[in-house]
Structure 1
Amino acid sequence: MGFSLFPRSAKFYDLFKEQHRKLVKAAGILDELFTTFDDVEERCKRINIIESEGNAISRRIAKELSLTFITPIDREDIHQINLTQEDILNLIKAIASRIGLFGFDRIRYPARRIIANMRVMIEELGVVLGRMSQSKQAEESFHKIENLKHECETLLMVGIGELYDGGEVNADYAVILDIVKWKHIFDRIEAAVDRTESLADVLEGVVLKNA
């Protein structure tokens, strides 16, 4: 029988997967929102509910960690996986909330592409968690996540560049306000992508330490 990084007795693997399912669900709804840009209020409400459910799972993981004397992997790694998944979910909520609040009439193409890429990155992290539970390597997933992160960086530069390119010197208040609003959106999208990459780094470190 192969060695498992997450023995059943500790339940960390099951809790991480449950937490990750909430993350995948929220990322999927955000991607749909950015793609179709309809039912904005309803989709934001659904993400808020999922984020609340995810926070409850995060507290369960923290409690389990406090009650477990001998952990299957380093305690700091368990803490980081938990914290980072929670951070990503919170950032998804922040992005959706601002889309709902700012009253945009369209979604900018670079932002739509970045969110779609982030959704795939998050899904690939689920593949990594699954392979970790079977003591298998996940180089292909890590490589795919890295490539998507690089693409997101390029799209982010394009998106921010478009905010300022071609702007008139005496732009009216509405144009300036739109730029400011989208800069807030792009800042949070960048933070969410960065945290997703951070989760990949944590999981890769766990795999290497327990190889």
Structure 2
Amino acid sequence: MRFRLTPREDSYYDMFADSANNLVTGARLLVELISDGGNREGIAEKMRACEHAGDEFTHAIMRRLNESFITPFDREDIYRLASSLDDVMDFMEAAADLVVLYKIGELPRDVVGQVEVLERAAELTAEAMPRLRGMKDLSEYWIEINRLENQGDQVYRRLLAELFGGEYDALTVLKLKEVVDQLEAAADAFEKVANTVESIAVKES
């Protein structure tokens, strides 16, 4: 165990938790979006508000990083974690926005599977952030996120096979692929968050 002789700046933990909780809100809005075809514009607007809130959380962390002489763990890890959390929200918001902009009607059934992976990953990430303070009981988190990302990859490949299977016209394929690509990128970004947490935990152990 590494002993520290100086006080640490602890407000980072609360800001990471706020950012992760915002991802839970965004993921649940995605669930609502794909299940409610009647109010997609309104849901996409809420997603934009979530994305703006995520940007504010990220900017607050970066400002604190620039102002802090002492940090709870390595500066580059704080930057990576904040940026990765922000990336997740950006990808989720982009997917929601594209559904509305492209006026996509019925989405392929497996999109539900993609969004379920994101919702569960968001919940696990929000549960994990407060545990950064003690660096305890985190291994199950990154192992499960890795499993979810693999599950998401399988769903993504099934979707690609469906999109290029001849059921959809070429323009619809292009529109739907952009949406599922953004959802896949969000799953990848969740894994990057988990990998960063694992790196921090290893260094601090």
* TM-score above 0.5, yes or no: yes
Q: In the alignment, what sits opposite 1:176? A: 170
Q: In the alignment, what sits opposite 1:42? A: 42
Segment drifting more, 125-134 vs 108-117: 125-134
Gaps of 5+ in 1: 168-173
State the one-letter code of the partner of 2:92. Answer: I
State the one-letter code of the partner of 1:40. Answer: R
Conserved? CA contact 1:55–1:86, under 8 Å: yes
State the one-letter code of the partner of 2:186. Answer: A
**Distance in 2, Cα, partners of 1:37 & 1:202:** 36
Asked if residue 145 in structure 1 is aligned to residue 140 in structure 2, the reply is no
Q: In the alignment, what sits opposite 1:28? A: 28
Q: CA deviation at 1:67?
A: 0.4
Q: CA deviation at 1:8?
A: 7.0
Q: CA deviation at 1:178?
A: 0.4
Conserved? CA contact 2:8–2:70, under 8 Å: no
Asked if residue 14 in structure 1 is aligned to residue 14 in structure 2, the reply is yes
Q: Which runs of 4+ in 1 moved over 6 A?
A: none
Q: CA deviation at 1:149?
A: 1.0
Asked if residue 186 in structure 1 is aligned to residue 197 in structure 2, the reply is no
Q: CA deviation at 1:141?
A: 2.0
Tell me the TM-score normalized by structure 2. Answer: 0.92
**Distance in 2, Cα, partners of 1:134 & 1:75:** 18
**Distance in 2, Cα, partners of 1:37 & 1:139:** 38
Conserved? CA contact 1:137–1:207, under 8 Å: no
Q: CA deviation at 1:36?
A: 3.4
Q: In the alignment, what sits opposite 2:122? A: 122
Asked if residue 94 in structure 1 is aligned to residue 94 in structure 2, the reply is yes
Q: In the alignment, what sits opposite 2:111? A: 111
